[in-house]
Amino acid sequence: MNKMTKEHLSIYIHYPFCKSKCPYCDFNSHVSKSIDAQRFLSAYEKELEFFSAKISAKTLTNDQSSKREVTSIFFGGGTPSLMPIFLVEGILKKISELWHVKKDCEISLEANPTSFESSKFKALRSIGINRLSLGIQALNDEDLKFLGREHSAKEAITTIELTQKIFDNFSFDLIYARPSQTLKDWRNELERAIDFGSKHLSLYQLTIEKGTKFFSQFQQKKFVMPDEELSAQFYEMTNEITAANAFELYEISNYAKNNLFCRHNLVYWQGGDYLGIGAGAHSRLYFADENRYALMMLHEPNSWLKKVEEVGAGIQKLEKISSAELAQELILMGLRLVDGIDESIFLQHLQKKFNEIFAMEKLQALERSGLIEIGSSNIKIPSNKRLLTNTIVAKVCDCLMQ
Ligand code: SF4
């Protein structure tokens, strides 16, 4: 997997609109009757310009490469496949004016499989999108309806077939461990999904998040979720089926063939710098003052729009990240990866080795209890403990020296 450095930059573009709100969704997505796409393009451009002036090239010295190199761009949402083509194209053009975009830059866009959206795929490919991430979620109409999705299973299948013809690199998401889904149902569905030939799958267990429609329905006992034991069986079976089909599990919920890992998401998990543009987007990056910052943009699209128009960026929160916070973030993100956290990431950010960051005797006690494995240059969670990731992350953070 690629290792990120401070000369690299990944850019996330958030498009905060959807046709309707899915009942499980806690993303920053809004339903709006009309959207002034031209006005949004100007705001995205303005915010990109604002940050290009602030971001350091850190270790680069010669003028020619004084700008950072953009290694990945990701259009997420919301539903970015609803964006008019000129909006996606305009943003890509602005990015390449402001930064050097690496020749093999991964440029992903999330798409929903309705016919309206799939009719744009050719045009998206022609303007530079080279990876499509499809929100399929289920392959039967009953569950798609339960999940509040706008597409049918037939549309999902037609869209996957079309995507295969246009994109060499595409992924699709499925949500499993749904109420009333049996292990056998999921086995059949996953095997069918694998047969479509995608080289990347994101397979998430349904979770009930506070503030969603599902949260209140679940509290009113309108449906029952699988218990812990069944969830664990779902996860184990998912890993077995994907492994039997030559998929490599590289992050808790992400599987790839032929090393086609999502390079953009690896930046999050490996502590790389990313700039998030658009309503509700988050960033983690070094500015020209050599400090690393955490940023969050205003969530409400019109508030974001107005603030960008007034001051150049729709920032809601901007905080300098302390060394202690940074170490915790690197652990939180890094332990999601099957390979865990590499010591080089701590060296790069904090100029410290494991034994200068952690109380090693405490870390070794965790290893003896089977919760982590300490390698020559990495710390990872053993496969049979992956479902305890959140608990283990807290315990590893407790091993940090004060
Ligand atoms: S399409 Fe995606 S972002 Fe939009 S409401 Fe549904 S889950 Fe949320």
Surface-to-core class of residue 319, CB atoms within 10 Å of its CB (0-12 exposed, 13-18 middle, 19+ buried): exposed
Write out pLDDT tens, residues 118-146. 899 999 999 999 999 999 999 999 999 99
Contact assessment for residue 378 and residue 341, using Cβ atoms and an 8 Å cutoff: yes
For residue 214, give both structure tokens. Answer: 């599902």
Give me the DSSP letters along 334-350.
HTTBTT-EEHHHHHHHH
* Close Cβ partners of 31 (under 8 Å, ≥ 6 residues apart): 17, 18, 19, 20, 21
What is the residue with the minimal CA distance to atom 6 of ligand 1? Answer: 22
| HEC assignment per residue over 9-54 | EEEEEEECECCCCCCCCCCCCECCCCCCHHHHHHHHHHHHHHHHCC
**pLDDT at position 270 over 60:** yes
β partners of residue 287: 55
How much is the average pLDDT of 343-361?
Answer: 95
Cβ of 22 below 6 Å from ligand 1? yes
Cβ of 27 below 6 Å from ligand 1? yes
Report the sign of the C-alpha dihedral through residues 257, 259, 262, 267, in that order. positive
How much is the average pLDDT of 156-165?
Answer: 95
Phi, psi dihedral angles at 256 (to 5 degrees) = -140, 150
Contact assessment for residue 287 and residue 54, using Cβ atoms and an 8 Å cutoff: yes
Cβ of 21 below 6 Å from ligand 1? yes
For residue 78, give the ligand 1 atom closest to its CA: 3
Cβ of 175 below 6 Å from ligand 1? no
How much is the average pLDDT of 244-255?
Answer: 97
Confidence class for position 59, pLDDT limits 50, 70, 90: very low
Cβ of 90 below 6 Å from ligand 1? no
Would you call 174 helix, strand, or coil by DSSP? strand
For residue 60, give both structure tokens. Answer: 């680069």
Phi, psi dihedral angles at 195 (to 5 degrees) = -60, -20
**Best substitution site from 21, 24, 204 to test ligand 1's pocket, by max atoms within 8 Å of Cβ?**
21
**Best substitution site from 79, 151, 159 to test ligand 1's pocket, by max atoms within 8 Å of Cβ?**
79
How much is the average pLDDT of 43-50?
Answer: 97
Cβ of 79 below 6 Å from ligand 1? yes
Cβ of 77 below 6 Å from ligand 1? yes
Contact assessment for residue 231 and residue 177, using Cβ atoms and an 8 Å cutoff: yes
What is the residue with the minimal CA distance to atom 2 of ligand 1? Answer: 78
**pLDDT at position 73 over 80:** yes
Q: Determine how β-strand 100-111 pairs with β-strand 69-77.
A: parallel
**pLDDT at position 2 over 80:** no
For residue 18, give the ligand 1 atom closest to its CA: 4
Distance in Å, CA 111 to ligand 1 centroid: 10
For residue 110, give the ligand 1 atom closest to its CA: 2
* Close Cβ partners of 206 (under 8 Å, ≥ 6 residues apart): 24, 175, 176, 177, 178, 179, 225
Cβ of 25 below 6 Å from ligand 1? yes
Least confident piece of the model among 56-70, 208-222, 294-308: 56-70
Distance in Å, CA 356 to ligand 1 centroid: 43
| Helix segments in 256-342, DSSP class H | 263-269, 301-311, 323-334
Cβ of 13 below 6 Å from ligand 1? no
Q: In angstroms, rounded to a whole number, what is the distance separating the alpha carbons of residues 226 and 186?
A: 13
Strand spans (E) along 57-161 = 69-77, 100-111, 131-137
Distance in Å, CA 199 to ligand 1 centroid: 23
Give me the DSSP letters along 386-402.
GGGHHHHHHHHHHTB--
* Residue 78, preceding peptide bond in cis (omega within 30° of 0): yes
Report the sign of the C-alpha dihedral through residues 176, 178, 183, 185, in that order. negative
Based on DSSP, count helices (H) and strands (E) in the chain, helices before strands.
16, 15
Which pLDDT belongs to residue 5? Answer: 59
Average per-residue pLDDT for the chain: 93
Would you call 34 helix, strand, or coil by DSSP? coil
For residue 265, give both structure tokens. Answer: 């998401």
How much is the average pLDDT of 242-257?
Answer: 97
Distance in Å, CA 305 to ligand 1 centroid: 21
Residue 68: name the closest of 9, 12, 13 by CA: 9
Residue 84: name the closest of 37, 14, 149 by CA: 37
- Residues written for the chain: 402
Confidence class for position 377, pLDDT limits 50, 70, 90: very high
CA distances (Å), origin 383, targets 175, 187, 270, 386: 21, 20, 19, 5
Q: In angstroms, rounded to a whole number, what is the distance separating the alpha carbons of residues 251 and 196?
A: 21
